[in-house]
Structure 1
Amino acid sequence: MLRLDNRVALVTGAGRGLGADYAKFLASRGAAVVVNNRRRNGESPADDVVAEIAAAGGKAVANYSDVVEDPQGLVDTAMDTYGRLDIVVNNAGIHQEMSFSDPGAFDLIKRYMDVHFYGTVGVTKAAWEHLIASGSGRVINTVSPVMINGSVDITAYVSAKAATVGFTRSLSIEAEDFGITVNAIAPIAATRLSEKGKFTDEFKKQLRDNNPTSLVSPVVAYLAHPENTLNGRNLIVAAGEVQLMTFGKNDGFLDRELTPESVQANLDSILDETTNTVLPYERFHASID
């Protein structure tokens, strides 16, 4: 069994849904967990998650810091309570759908970037020195499979998740020098936020019936473990299925005297998906070295 004894994990947005399940699963494998969720009207669901972990014999402490306004506060709770930090799970997020034509679209994109991207970056940066000190620090970010194709009214969401993919991919290279791994998951699960989404009732029922949050947490626990060998990867996790979300390219066409007309004439080759090949992470890393 891959245990997490003597490891300290910080999970953002862990009061409900996926984050709560992550926190409880990590605690069940022996980790001491900082359960982060903001207070509303003086209360936070993080307290309920901590109580549930404690009742099961685990270790947990609540934190109420905002990932945007006070990322250092989350890390301080871990250090003040447990004296170390080994695992950061960046899960906190918001949900609001809006057409790009709406007057508020630009402000919504900035808000999404604040929470989903800068929140992830800020918490990771605040934790970085402690992850280095751990010797086997682990960062798990949250992205989305919908960023592959995009969708109507969620440009803000997809944009922030795409930025997080770039952050994950690039930071993973620097992290290797410190024994840290940085990966991302793209979960598909039934949550309070998915119920608010503009999905069909049939799709929401399918999520409830087949995609419980409990089928995502084991992947998070593996990525959090010192024996995890993955780095810089983006994994789609849905209903017990785990897939690599890849970067790739096709054969395209070559013209050393390229013109707009030759581009037009060769669109079939440029768009030919049958010749797609995956760009290996190792090759990408070697090109940086």
Structure 2
Amino acid sequence: MDSGLAGSGVIVTGAGSGIGRATALLFAAEGARVVVADLNGDTAQAVVDEIRATGGAAEAVVGDLSERAVVDRVVGTAVESFGGVDVLVNNAGIMDSMSAAADVTDEEWARVLSVNLTAPFLLARAVVPHMLAKGKGAIVNTASEAALRGGASGTAYTVAKHGIVGLTRSLAVMYRASGIRTNAIAPGATMTGISVTADAEAHGPTVLVPHMGAMGRVASPEEQAAAIVFLASAAASNINGAVLPVDNGWSAV
């Protein structure tokens, strides 16, 4: 089936590495034009160069997506370079320190919620008017196994990813009559560069780590990217408001 993505304008956040990089490359392979948004300028430009080397179109935007000015630059680049926004992939995220609620600092709470939940909201709010003007669009959010249960990460990360599920479903209901679909993937363990800094003796890790054996095989970034691109594609034209676990059955345990 034709993915329907050729010529579309796509924004992928966190696209300099891991799932985001694999997603940007796969969209480009489908003929989409990609805004590669990332905090790291070197990795973002490397992905852009890789896409251009195969004849694709891509632009890099560097900055902290929890800042509205950066969000405006990301969306403005897609509109100016590619004529609009057809697909938004909210993938950028950070881990917490697996802290239990009583141990979460104000700084950790604010930063994790800012990057993992506020930034996707700001981007969705910014792109929806452009999608409404076209009468169509697709948003795919990266949630997490932690969005499906309380025991996959620390309090701040778990709350933020549950919020992503709420954002996904709200957008799906609010804009389905306008041709905009919003879905999410919930990755399990995946081979990415994201890291966790945690005190192994702290309350959170002592509760969470013993349960990690149920997570099963570690996925490749390309496996997560395939699910994201599918949800954005014409093949998923009647899928809206779904949260798709891509976790080799971890959520079924």
The 5 Å alignment of 1:162-173 reads: 162-173=162-173
> CA deviation digits over 1:115-165, x for unaligned, max 9?
111100000111111111232200001111123332386100000011111
> CA deviation digits over 1:165-213, x for unaligned, max 9?
111112211111210001111112111115768769x96xx75xx5111
Q: Note closer, same or farther for the CA distance 1:152–1:100 as it changes in structure 2 (3 Å cut).
A: farther
Q: Note closer, same or farther for the CA distance 1:196–1:45 as it changes in structure 2 (3 Å cut).
A: farther
User: Structure 1 residue 220 and structure 2 residue 220: aligned?
Assistant: no
Offset at residue 105 of structure 1 (A): 2.2
Equivalent-residue separation in structure 2 for 1:29 and 1:161 (angstroms): 28
Task: Report sequence identity in percent.
Answer: 33
Question: How large is the Cα RMSD of the aligned pairs?
Answer: 2.6
Offset at residue 32 of structure 1 (A): 0.4
Offset at residue 227 of structure 1 (A): 4.2
The 5 Å alignment of 1:26-65 reads: 26-39=27-40, 43-65=41-63
Offset at residue 57 of structure 1 (A): 2.0
Cα pair 1:37 1:44 within 8 Å, conserved: no
Equivalent-residue separation in structure 1 for 2:27 and 2:152 (angstroms): 35
Provide structure 1 residue ranges, at least 5 long, that are not aligned to the other structure: 247-289
Q: Note closer, same or farther for the CA distance 1:152–1:172 as it changes in structure 2 (3 Å cut).
A: closer
Match of 1:231 among 231, 240, 243: 240
> CA deviation digits over 1:48-83, x for unaligned, max 9?
001111112221111113211121111001011111
Provide structure 2 residue ranges, at least 5 long, that are not aligned to the other structure: 199-204
Q: Which has the larger radius of gyration?
A: 1
Number of positions where the alignment pairs a residue of Structure 1 with one of Structure 2: 235
Deviates more, 1:144-153 or 1:180-189: 144-153
* Secondary structure in 2 matching 1:216: helix
Q: TM-score scaled by structure 2?
A: 0.84
Cα pair 1:26 1:33 within 8 Å, conserved: yes
| Deviating 4+ runs (over 4 angstroms) | 194-200
* Secondary structure in 1 matching 2:42: coil
- Identify the residue that residue 146 of structure 2 maps to in structure 1: 146
* Secondary structure in 2 matching 1:174: helix
Q: TM-score scaled by structure 1?
A: 0.74
Equivalent-residue separation in structure 2 for 1:172 and 1:81 (angstroms): 27
Equivalent-residue separation in structure 2 for 1:18 and 1:217 (angstroms): 6
